Structure 1
Amino acid sequence: MNNHGMIRGIVKNPAAPADVLLRLLSEEASDVWQTLAWRSLPDRVVDAIVTSPHVTLRAAFAENKDASGDRRARLVNDPDPTVRAAVATGPQWFRSPVDPLPEWAQRALLRDGDAQVRSRAEESLPPSPALAELASDADPRRRRAACRAWEHLDPERRGLLLADAEPSVRAEAAKRASGHDADATERYLLLTDDVPVRRAQVLARAALHPVTARRLAETGDVHERAAVAGNPAVALDTARLLADDPEHAVRLQFAARPDLTEAQRAEIDYRVSESDRLGAVPWVLDATDAEVLRRCATSANTLLRRSAACNGQLPRDVVDLLGRDDDLPVRILLCENQPTVDGEVVLDVLRRWTSPLKGMLLDHPSFPRAGLARRFGDDPEPARRHLATHDPGAPAELLLRLSHDPDVRFRRALASHPNLPYGRVTELLGDGDAQTSIRAAANPALPPPLMHRLLDSAGIPRRAG
């Protein structure tokens, strides 16, 4: 392994102690600073990063999804606006919840002396009382940002924003109020400069005056017609105007209405194929009634079942029911959105799904790691045999045998397995395949003295003291 590969492995080693990680703060290891700043870190290393003279290190730590809001807030008063802007933006990781900054930190960023930092905070901070306080700000852009915290605004401040002198503020306020106020929806439609798709997303959940709903059904663009067709607030008689719309997207939304019977849905010309990537139906996504969700889960309408799989209030029996669904995307969405889905469903989806995103399922809380070695370690099919590499209790003798598999994927996967015999791990440190040797350096079974020697050989200086 070359020196750079050695460093790339050790920085990812979950067992690397603080004194090893601290060595990676040297400029000789700058290539792995981002990886270091984004990993789980002990307090000593966090202390060193937030006081580091290097802006890139501090800014990278602000994006650490595993760092608590309190830890990231230590950079709120950083002398460099680039770092403070990174704190305001925060970690932006796909499907990864992030601990929010404490409110005092949010307020500090919203009042920062640098305009770029304030702008990032206004755009990126979650809805909160701190953001709502901007409702009375002299700057219309900040009042508009306050509308994102609509649920934290009292009726008086909402009314002031709806009547704001600045059209863009009124439009944003009207958008936020449109779910329960048809007059607000009218104002939104008059004032908004949203693109058609975004406007349709608002209309799909908006309260609508009957005359407006009919006008949109008759003369709206395809996005508006689809939104009206599926909006439960629109009278069925009006929505029926769209049952035979020439656009399939419109008919598809009409077929997913809650006020249709299964027989009525069957009369509509729509289809959902396994390859279709469709957004969840808004009213299903928002549903909290267990019986409503059960009806969606048992519907012949595939879109309703896919949408139910995304609902965060899904009862356990419905999770189990959808886990047996014939539609693979239903089961994929179930695994992506339901932490209690049966582990065998997760395993089956992992084996059948062809997307690069399938690897995320390995981190699913229900993924049945235990026992995979016993079940698949001797399977003649390489893809199934490879599942054994994910078993934390896999016996050393099996791992040793699999690590000699001619398929390089086995060496790569097993090089970082803590149960792989130590002698084999050290062999793999010098493997001709770079990915294998990097993973070997990330093996938690490596003793810290060896980690230090590897860093010595890579030219990473030891810290004084």
Structure 2
Amino acid sequence: MNPALCGLAVNEALPFELVGRLITIADADIAAGLAGRADLSREQAVDLASRVEESAVRLVHEGRLTAADINPLTQPQAALALLEQRAGDPEWARLLARDPDADRRAKLAACPGLPADVRETLAADPDVQVVAELALCTTPDLAARLARHPHAEVRTAVAGNEATPPQVLAMLITGEGLPPAERCLVCDREETPFTHDPHCPRLDCDLRSGASCAGSHESTLHEMAEQALWNPATPVGPLLRFADHPSSLLRARLAARPDLPPQSAARLAGDPVPGVRGELAQNPAIDEALIRVLAADRGHDVQRRLAHNPRVPLDVLSELATATKIGPSLLPRIAAASPSEIEDLSRSSNPVVRMLLAERRDLPAGIRDALADDPDAKVVKSIARHPGLSEAQLRSMVERHGSRVVAKVAANPETPPALLEELTRHTPLVQKGLREVARHPGATGPALLACLADSQTRRLAAGHPALPPEAIVELLADPDGLVVEAAAANPSLPPAVMAQLIPDPGGA
């Protein structure tokens, strides 16, 4: 990989004629960058796709190629990408349904809106993975038929399809009305009973870790239950049997269901595994009484996850802020707080509560300013990125709390250039602060030059358009390829230097 040419490929200031020159010498890495250019002409896109097949899929996703530009025989991946967007020719689907490459047929099976005859062809595919891919996203009627497929892998995919009729999903869970599955991926390949070694040394083995079959396809049926529990179309009634299942993973999936009945929720609140109770704690379906019970649960991560429940009462949230480490994040309940609740939270005696409130970016000016003057550094760190803060307020934060708030002040998009320069000279030096300065759209040349001293920050500063051109050119010789790539992608790189970096295919 040539880092300079890869950088030029995404440089928004690269002249049109140099884009064309770069296309003529592009490899897969360069083409990946070129394919994302907003200024790529249709002719250039077609040229690039014809030269580097890997770029054609990205060009399709970027809207640069249409069905008229693609030959499905020579560019099957691009044809599949267009079919995935419902923009391909239906005849391509009929052609690809008989492609000798099973991976391509599986990708086709995942495409929406396939013609009925193509779906039928794929449903009868000899490769079970192709049929399973179809089952995962096909129409309700075909999903209902595939629920009777003899292979458990296909039935597992049907269980994860949200278009599968609810009564069929219930049958997959209970087994009632369906013949037993005859095969699974394990007994297809191994003599049973067999349990796959999680540390299997065979390089050609693609069985899932822990896959097992003793004649009843145990691991695959477990996966089918997982899929059905995750699927919102599955009626909750048949799923309640998993409240006492030996698998804590299945109990956790049940605990996260938004349609979980209160009686089952109460039972799962006493589950011996904290992970199950944690899933329950974050479930917005649980009522206030159960929330208050779980607030006293000292199991690993239960209280922290309860704090993220959008229905947690604010008085409980205040208690949780003291009992567990939540960290600076905008909690759903804080985000939904009413104006009067915001006022109450801002006056909380608990600095963690004030910190959580300060994560909002739509606070009234008076409350924002009060939090900016807060004596607790963690509150100030959270409010430092709030819009509308004055330069005087930002400077005061740094004067009062020093290195603890430097990075957050530097990350505020409204921090003035002069203050950014001062933050690069702060003692002690704050590495995170330097990185934020290097990302800041208002950073000046002197501030960015100061960022070059740090190896990690240099990668960010090298791509900043305010970096002086002479410094950008020097960085093209940096031993770090990521720095070189960023410098070459910098729109302030002189065009003459850009031209020198690209070999002229017509030259001697």
TM-score by length of 2: 0.59
Give, in angstroms, the shift of residue 402 of structure 1.
Answer: 2.2
**Corresponding residue number in structure 2 for 1:77:** 71
Amino acid at match of 2:497: L
Structure-2 change in CA distance of 1:251 and 1:425 (3 Å) = closer
**Corresponding residue number in structure 1 for 2:454:** 407
- 5+ long unaligned stretches in structure 2: 182-216, 362-367, 369-380, 387-410
- List per-residue Cα deviations over 1:240-292 (Å, max 9, x = no partner): 33332222222323444523323233355533189x9x8x99xx9xxxxxxxx
**Corresponding residue number in structure 2 for 1:187:** 172
Say yes or no: does 1:20 pair with 2:4: no
**Corresponding residue number in structure 1 for 2:53:** 58
**Corresponding residue number in structure 1 for 2:311:** 295
Tell me the distance in 1 between the aligned counterparts of 2:239 and 2:9: 58
Tell me the distance in 1 between the aligned counterparts of 2:484 and 2:100: 46
Structure-2 change in CA distance of 1:264 and 1:310 (3 Å) = closer
Structure-2 change in CA distance of 1:441 and 1:368 (3 Å) = same
Give, in angstroms, the shift of residue 79 of structure 1.
Answer: 3.4
> Contact 1:12/1:39 (CA < 8 Å) preserved in 2?
yes
TM-score by length of 1: 0.64
Say yes or no: does 1:265 pair with 2:294: yes
Structure-2 change in CA distance of 1:85 and 1:115 (3 Å) = farther
Match of 1:40 among 8, 29, 37: 37
Amino acid at match of 1:228: L
Give, in angstroms, the shift of residue 326 of structure 1.
Answer: 5.5
Indicate the SS of the match to 2:252: helix
- List per-residue Cα deviations over 1:313-332 (Å, max 9, x = no partner): x997469999x9959xx99x
Give, in angstroms, the shift of residue 11 of structure 1.
Answer: 2.7
Structure-2 change in CA distance of 1:21 and 1:240 (3 Å) = same
Give, in angstroms, the shift of residue 59 of structure 1.
Answer: 1.8
> Contact 1:203/1:228 (CA < 8 Å) preserved in 2?
yes
Question: Which has the larger Rg?
Answer: 2
Give, in angstroms, the shift of residue 49 of structure 1.
Answer: 1.0
After superposition, where does 1:261-410 map in structure 2 within 5 Å?
261=288, 262-266=291-295, 268=297, 270-272=299-301, 294-295=310-311, 300=317, 317=336, 368-371=412-415, 373-379=417-423, 380=426, 381-383=429-431, 384-399=433-448, 401-402=449-450, 406-410=453-457
**Corresponding residue number in structure 1 for 2:364:** none
> Contact 1:12/1:442 (CA < 8 Å) preserved in 2?
yes
After superposition, where does 1:160-175 map in structure 2 within 5 Å?
161=145, 172-175=157-160
**Corresponding residue number in structure 2 for 1:423:** 470
> Contact 1:414/1:420 (CA < 8 Å) preserved in 2?
yes
Match of 1:9 among 7, 10, 13: 7
> Contact 1:415/1:428 (CA < 8 Å) preserved in 2?
yes
- List per-residue Cα deviations over 1:33-64 (Å, max 9, x = no partner): 34444432511431211232xxxx12233145
**Corresponding residue number in structure 2 for 1:364:** none
Amino acid at match of 1:271: H
Give, in angstroms, the shift of residue 196 of structure 1.
Answer: 3.5
Tell me the distance in 2 between the aligned counterparts of 1:65 and 1:310: 38
Indicate the SS of the match to 2:65: helix
- List per-residue Cα deviations over 1:120-169 (Å, max 9, x = no partner): 433543xx33377755447335665444445xx4x6x3685367565555
Tell me the distance in 2 between the aligned counterparts of 1:174 and 1:432: 52
> Contact 1:84/1:109 (CA < 8 Å) preserved in 2?
no
**Corresponding residue number in structure 2 for 1:461:** 504
Amino acid at match of 1:40: R
**Corresponding residue number in structure 1 for 2:27:** 30
Structure-2 change in CA distance of 1:438 and 1:326 (3 Å) = same
Structure-2 change in CA distance of 1:429 and 1:236 (3 Å) = closer
> Contact 2:135/2:158 (CA < 8 Å) preserved in 1?
yes
Say yes or no: does 1:248 pair with 2:270: no
Tell me the distance in 1 between the aligned counterparts of 2:383 and 2:47: 40
Structure-2 change in CA distance of 1:421 and 1:118 (3 Å) = closer
> Contact 2:3/2:484 (CA < 8 Å) preserved in 1?
yes
Greater shift in the superposed pair: 100-109 or 223-232 = 100-109
Greater shift in the superposed pair: 440-449 or 264-273 = 264-273
Greater shift in the superposed pair: 135-144 or 369-378 = 135-144
Tell me the distance in 2 between the aligned counterparts of 1:238 and 1:431: 61
Tell me the distance in 2 between the aligned counterparts of 1:440 and 1:159: 52
What's the C-alpha RMSD, in Å, of the aligned pairs?
5.1
Structure-2 change in CA distance of 1:106 and 1:419 (3 Å) = farther
Tell me the distance in 2 between the aligned counterparts of 1:214 and 1:432: 60
Match of 1:221 among 247, 253, 270: 247
Aligned-residue identity in percent: 17
Indicate the SS of the match to 1:200: helix
Indicate the SS of the match to 1:461: coil
Tell me the distance in 2 between the aligned counterparts of 1:145 and 1:433: 42
Say yes or no: does 1:104 pair with 2:130: no
> Contact 2:71/2:79 (CA < 8 Å) preserved in 1?
no
